[in-house]
Structure 1
Amino acid sequence: MFTSPPEPGQAAFDVESITYSNQVITWKTPNGRLKHEIDEDAVIHKVFSSTIQPSKVLPYYFKAIREFDPEAVTITTLITFDRYPVFSKLVTNYQGPISVTIHINDDEARDENLSKLHEMYGSNPYMKEFVDVHVVVDKFNRQFNMWRNVARFFARTNYFMMLDVDFHICTNLQKHLSLDPEARQLMRSGSAVLLPAFEYVNQDDGYDSSTFPKDKESLIQSVRSKKLTTFHDFFPKGHNATDYERWYKTDSVYKVTTYQHSYEPYVILKKEGTPWCDERFVGYGANKAACLFEIYISGIDYYVLPNDFLIHQSHPYKEETRKQERKYNRKLYQNFQEEACFRYSMQFVAANKWDSPKADNLREQCNKIKGFKQAMEHFSRS
């Protein structure tokens, strides 16, 4: 047992008695005099109560020493111990606020993997400057949406980017956003902005991010020479709504107008007011699409940034695992879409916003569900 996190390289852990578990959350009344204290564990359990339990969430297991500009964009991502090397590259490349959820399986390798976490955090000086680490310890692999929500919940800026750790931001995103008043205004208004995603045709070319194009002109040349292609071009529903042909030609932000329910872009969102990812989705398939679908039908429009892009860094896939989990999540997603459509519809009707532009995305998508339009004609008249 210990009373404070050990230094990198040590390997003596007792998750149940870690100091973070003894913290207390304090609420004050409006006059600031009275207060009520609740154990942090109770608050965290309630916040993530829809996940598989028991699960131990340790917020700010490591906390960056920097205080971040509230207008900065925090990358929110999730990793397991086998992704530490590529995560370290992301930290060095971005050099901005990052909030990461790290899952540690509660098994015989738990302490060893926690020790690896300490080694990883201590191995890169940019970690201590920019990275807040939140640890989830349980026996349940691939609770991706729960892990996304943990990283977002504890992000310390007004904006966050949902990013898979194996994507490389090839441009100076922070600089471009600071110089683009239109994109900034869209973000402040609550809209989402996104980066087009690409991958190498020959996967062997995609391991070394230092060789990736660093500007749009170089990227387009690589696309034309068929070295690069749009990400997962074998599944066009995942990214084609980005409208790559338009992106190649434009130097201005533009709106996504052909959204469909399998769309999975990498988006920057306002932390306040954006729906959370539904935590019932566990495993591969539909988890991110469901999250982005709910965000979209809630009334948040998607816009494409004109000069920034991502390239996928190659790595092996667990195809058999993915195949089975996609099958289960596909069924869940079908039911989820109907549920989300009716839930948000009732909100819009109750708020007298059913006929407002905010409900446009919902009507566009949810009218595709059999019987939905007729049901809402009845409810909206009630």
Structure 2
Amino acid sequence: MIKLRVEGTKPIQRTLKFFFHVYIILSALYTLGYIYRMYTNNDDLISIQPRNEPVPEISSAKWGQDKISWDSNSGIYDSMTEEFFLSKVFSESMQPSHVIPYYFRADDPPKEEDITITTLITSDRFLIFNKLVTNYQGPISVTIHVSDNEETRDELLKSLNDLYNSNPYMKKYVDVHLVVDRFERQFNMWRNVAKFFARTNYVMMLDVDFHPCTNFRQKILRSPRIMKMLRTGNTALVIPAFEYANLKEGLNSSTFPTNKKDALKLIDSKRLAMFHASWKPGHGSSNYDAWHRSNVLYKVTQYQFQYEPYVIFPKNSIWCDERFVGYGANKAACLFELYLSGVNYWVLPEDFLIHQTHEYLESARKHERLFNRKLYDQFREELCFRYARNFILIDEWDTPKSRNLKEVCHKIRGFTQAINFFRESIS
């Protein structure tokens, strides 16, 4: 009996020894892999998992529960929910607001050295967005607002699904991100979402109802001089915007001119004019008279704080202030801060956009403009002092980077005295 027991344990012992050796080998491989990652990657690994397929149903219980994780290279592994992370990223927006990145993700990954149009749309702009996608045929990052209302939400998502799958260029080039909440017209927050998830080094902040009439993207990418300017981080490229005097002519983009020569004929005949010509501060700094005559890139020299052109600039730049909700000053605030941060505006001499006619919500615009005008007055002073302090502390006050700030902020009462006092106090 004893002999039988001893002999019967030998196969078990051999099996246990085999699994022990396998465990030792796997442990050694895991340790070597971890050491390799530790010494060959010094960056924290933060990832937001894209969604290659749309979420079939939006349920508040599932919003943003995907995990964002990172490895600190010290053996400590940590994570947080996607929703918690994004609530901080867009913390100045009205809350609760649920961001769903890459609801649809473009099939073709763009090159880093490319230009992504960043824009925002609501359901009434789906058709005009479809035309923009077909016309541009390049990377686009779009934010779509979804009202957190069950009666309209499912219908909008069905329409979005039909739109996305009806156009091959949409599936090839467009990344779609959703913002789900009960707040209308958080334009700057929506702009930031589109920019945050853009996958190229350069972005173009464009309203969806503007039609790019020329292939400015390829011209820029093929120009060594312009690309060098963009890479420095201190250049924004302005594309002049026009509209038809007879608004009915702006309904059909297929009739728009496609080169500067034809555009100038329409301008000379008074059929085409600067966009919102009755409000010259909006686009006047682009110097349209110079554009008519020029065939070379020229600098904006008469900047004023209500200027709101359509620009191409590095993604690694300022973010739009999300306190601006609704119509009025929201885009101007973005571009004012961009200019104050040390970015200069240069106008492209051969390219242009034309506005596609649509109705405006004038009743909403009137009240929202009044609120945002008051906010913008305070915002400009706040930025002047904040950026001035920053330039002084990082020893950039006496460099060209602070030139734009000095140009526009010296008009503020007490600004020069306050800055001199601050510089003396830290010297």
TM-score of the aligned structures, taking structure 1 as reference length:
0.95
SS in 2 for 1:259: coil
Q: What is the distance in 1 between the residues matched to 2:222 and 2:138?
A: 17
Distance 2:295 2:77 in 1: 53
SS in 1 for 2:203: strand
Query: Per-residue deviation at 1:307?
Result: 1.2
**Cα deviations by residue, 1:242-274 (Å, 9 ceiling, x for unpaired):** 0111111111111111100000011111111x1
Matched with 1:288 is: 331
1:255-274 equivalent positions in 2, closer than 5 A: 255-272=299-316, 274=317
Q: Distance in 2 between matches of 1:309 and 1:28?
A: 46
Deviation at 1:38, TM superposition (A): 1.4
AA in 1 matched with 2:273: T
Superposed displacement of residue 381, structure 1: 2.3
Task: Say yes or no: does 1:377 pair with 2:420.
Answer: yes
- Deviation, structure 1 residue 34: 4.0
How far apart are the structure 1 equivalents of 2:174 and 2:239?
A: 22
- Unaligned 5+ runs, structure 2: 1-50
Residue in 1 aligned with 2:390?
Answer: 347
Question: What whole-Å deviation, never above 9, does each CA across 1:40-76 have from its counterpart, x for those lacking one?
Answer: 1111111011110011100000000101111010000
Aligned to 1:73: 115
Structure 1 position 39 matched with structure 2 position 81: yes
Q: CA deviation at 1:178?
A: 2.5
| 1:208 to partner: Cα distance | 0.7
Alpha-carbon offset, residue 17 of structure 1: 4.3
Structure 1 SS opposite 2:402: helix
Q: CA deviation at 1:22?
A: 2.9
2:139 equivalent among 92, 97, 102: 97
Structure-2 residue corresponding to 1:254: 298
Residue in 2 aligned with 1:109? 152
1:61 maps to 103
* Higher mean C-alpha deviation, range 245-254 or range 145-154: 245-254
Is 1:169 equivalent to 2:212 in the alignment?
A: yes
Matched residue count: 373
Deviation of 1:310 after TM superposition, in Å, equals 0.5
Tell me if the contact between 2:52 and 2:103 (Cα under 8 Å) persists in the aligned partners.
no
8 A contact 1:222–1:228 mirrored in 2 = yes
1:188 partner amino acid: R
SS in 2 for 1:16: coil
| One-letter identity of the residue aligned with 2:336 | F
* Partner AA of 2:194 in structure 1: A
Q: Give the corresponding residue for 2:285.
A: 241
Mapped partners of 2:224, 2:283: distance in 1 = 26
Measured after TM superposition, the shift of residue 334 of structure 1 is 0.3
Given the alignment of the two structures, is residue 88 of structure 1 paired with residue 139 of structure 2, yes or no? no
The alpha-carbon distance between structure 1 residues 182 and 6, as it changes in their structure 2 partners (threshold 3 A), is closer
Is 1:100–1:131's contact at 8 Å kept on the other side of the alignment? yes
Give the aligned partner of residue 60 of structure 2: 16
Residues in 2 aligned to 1:212 and 1:368: alpha-carbon distance in whole angstroms: 42
Cα distance in 1, alignment partners of residues 364 and 61 from structure 2: 34
How big is the alpha-carbon RMSD for the aligned residues of Structure 1 and Structure 2? 1.5
| SS of equivalent residue, structure 1 residue 176 | helix
Amino acid at match of 1:240: G
Task: Confirm or deny: 8 A CA contact 1:298 1:358 kept in the other structure.
Answer: yes
Q: What residue is the counterpart of 2:361 in the other structure?
A: 318
* Distance (Å, rounded) in 2 between the aligned partners of 1:313 and 1:370: 42
Inter-partner Cα distance in structure 2 for 1:218 and 1:34: 63
- The aligned amino acid for 2:198 is A
Which stretch has the larger CA shift, 180-189 or 211-220? 180-189
Q: 1-side partners of 2:276 and 2:406: how far apart?
A: 28
* Residues in 1 aligned to 2:101 and 2:52: alpha-carbon distance in whole angstroms: 14
Query: Matched residues in 2 for 1:197 and 1:14: separation?
Result: 38
* 1:24 CA displacement: 1.3
Match of 1:122 among 131, 143, 165: 165
The 1-side partners of 2:410 and 2:392 are apart by 15
Structure 1 stretch displaced more, 172-181 or 130-139: 172-181
Given that 2:64 and 2:98 are in contact with CA atoms closer than 8 Å, whether structure 1 keeps it comes out as no
CA drift at 1:30: 4.2
Q: Which residue of 1 aligns with 2:347?
A: 304
Q: Which whole-Å CA distance do the structure 1 matches of 2:165 and 2:415 have between them?
A: 54
The structure-2 alpha-carbon separation of the partners of 1:211 and 1:233, relative to structure 1 and needing over 3 Å to count, comes to same
Alignment of 1:207-218 (within 5 A): 207-218=251-262
Whether the 8 Å contact between 2:52 and 2:105 is mirrored in structure 1 is no
The alignment-based identity, stated in percent, is 54
- The match for 2:91 is 49
Alignment partner of 2:308: what SS?
Answer: coil
Partner SS state of residue 142, structure 1: coil
Query: SS in structure 2 opposite 1:134?
Result: strand
Look up the SS of the partner of 1:267 in the other structure: strand
Instruction: Give the alignment partner of residue 264 of structure 2, picking from 206, 215, 220.
Output: 220
**1-structure distance, mates of 2:156, 2:89:** 26
- Residue 29 of structure 1, CA deviation: 2.1
TM-score, reference length from structure 2 = 0.85
Give 1:63's aligned amino acid: R
